[in-house]
Structure 1
């Protein structure tokens, strides 16, 4: 692909160190056997809420994680009233497709188009271009406080060139991953920054790039990806994210592309994702060893459903209300649950 030249890529000691630690965790995750399936499921739910909230907020959504959680809890019978809700629902459902079927979703133009169509499935405004490459320029622009465009930050690929560039990028990525001529994390990072430089769709490119990153990580054996939110790491470092993208993207079409700024950010973000998940797993192990069985069941229900009530646990466990009240009280006092509402409307969520 004439757009991808890696001859100028320097593999620095920091690159090697980050990759080594991420791959070590990848191997340890495969051997993980100390957490029960329901606790892994609860970890994944929390990560999903964080990922959906963060990825859509990066693109301008205003929904908090708690609002995302409520929306996803009632997704099957929810009527969307805002574009933010449409985007959150589309992202959550498309990400779940990837989690469930990543082994069967190869990196092809057809699959990328299908994922884009699914991502925007609830957005009526985007109905005319779902799953289709852009037909008008979509350069990345800067706006003032009144919403007026004040300049172009980055010129993306022209609509005429987009189909060719996408074919070349996909061919390069698949060939690089198959031949292992670059470490897969470096190949995935280069795919992501090049995809965003092309900006192949009229809208939804940022969200789709993060879904495709997750897909490629899963296909390359990073099975822990659904349990730790990479998107929330990026949101917390948003300025660095955009700066690294731009530093690399402005050089991509030159004879000496500078991959370092973006790849360093990308590897550091993956490493931070890994560290956060590592800490969560360790807390789960401590929790498992310290809490009584009834308290564990309360916590598991709260993680799996986003909330828990005394009535629900009375029905599920058969324990007396007084016994359960004591468990709830201790969990609140220890800071593991937070009480919401008053009187008969009281419910609890994870702190």
Structure 2
């Protein structure tokens, strides 16, 4: 916003003379960036200590959340089981209960995996067009036919983000005109591909804001912007494995996310405030990842203990089943016998052995009410 002759004039960020020469206060962000880098290193170090199976499980869980939550930000609810199955199939991860996935799910999974698994490959116009086509396999957004695999055109009119009832709409943002898109995207892709001296985490924040401000497509810009951000973060981590989900944190803070975008898009190319919020949000995403992945870490720690004196195949099967999200209640002799397909006497012997080793903890109650659980996380 600028003033002229005491009149206030609204100006979008992309209308400023210095666009897109972004600036930011390096010193004010330095401590936040250092904290993020420390958190990333600590989390990656913990996950690196896991075996291959557990790393795959943790990455699958994170990628599933990333896809589901990125779509939820745009008001699209995907079936998490379909997403998980699609990712597992594409990555060759062997999981139980694979189910077919819809075209919409397959499309966004294809885009997200291309961004994160092929993070070192150049980001090009054709690659973005492929992503967009994957997001809209029918060539439609809802009931409306849209340009797929190409920039939005002049025919679509101004690209605005609006809210409110008809006649009382509030314009939150208006993107650059369609005739500017080729030049704008050339500049963006050249910058993203350059090996400049910007930290990849900062680059992720800039790329997110820059792309979503250009808004080059008729629909899907937010999801593609977040995929680009994830690509930059994968480069920062130097690994295909994903153990934290920025999209999950953005979805949890959706109101603040849109408020920060609008505030910056109404401001100048000094993006210190946006980057400050972005780093804070990313920090919370990494912190929360430790909770989200707690079950995987707990499972790995317990199996490390168990494998010092391995259990039999029946015991291994039942323990793994008890880790499943849909496992209900506690373990008892009859349930064990049914799951392991053995007699009650065999089940009882297996359970007693696991109890003596501290792998099963007996709950209060005796007789027919006798039941068992796995150790509490904080005590392993």
Q: RMSD of the alignment, in Å?
A: 3.8
Superimposed CA distance per residue, residues 116-174 of structure 1 (whole angstroms, 9 cap, x where no aligned partner): 22222366547752211111232111133xx7761211011111111111111122233
Structure 1 residues 15-54: aligned runs within 5 Å: 15-28=29-42, 31-32=45-46, 33-54=48-69
Residue 143 of structure 1 aligns with which residue?
164
Matched residue of 2:68: which SS? Answer: helix
Does the 8 A contact of 2:68 with 2:83 survive in 1? no
Using the alignment, how far apart are the partners of 2:294 and 2:69 within structure 1? 24
Distance 1:282 1:198, change over 3 A: same
Q: Which structure has the larger Rg over C-alpha atoms?
A: 2
Using the alignment, how far apart are the partners of 1:260 and 1:312 within structure 2? 60
Using the alignment, how far apart are the partners of 2:337 and 2:162 within structure 1? 52
Unaligned runs of 5+ in 2: 1-16, 90-97, 329-335, 355-359, 362-370
Does the 8 A contact of 2:43 with 2:290 survive in 1? no
Residue 239 of structure 1 aligns with which residue?
255
Distance 1:275 1:71, change over 3 A: closer
Indicate which of 99, 109, 113 corresponds to 2:125. Answer: 109
Distance 1:17 1:246, change over 3 A: same
Residue 244 of structure 2 aligns with which residue?
228
Distance 1:59 1:41, change over 3 A: same
Distance 1:117 1:27, change over 3 A: same
Residue 164 of structure 1 aligns with which residue?
183
Distance 1:40 1:302, change over 3 A: farther
Does the 8 A contact of 1:90 with 1:122 survive in 2? no
Using the alignment, how far apart are the partners of 2:301 and 2:235 within structure 1? 34
TM-score (norm 2): 0.69
Structure 1 residues 195-234: aligned runs within 5 Å: 195-223=211-239, 226-234=242-250
Using the alignment, how far apart are the partners of 1:211 and 1:299 within structure 2? 36
Unaligned runs of 5+ in 1: 81-85, 337-351
Does the 8 A contact of 2:36 with 2:283 survive in 1? yes
TM-superposed CA distance for 1:56, in Å, is: 1.0
TM-superposed CA distance for 1:102, in Å, is: 2.4
Q: How many residues are matched?
A: 312
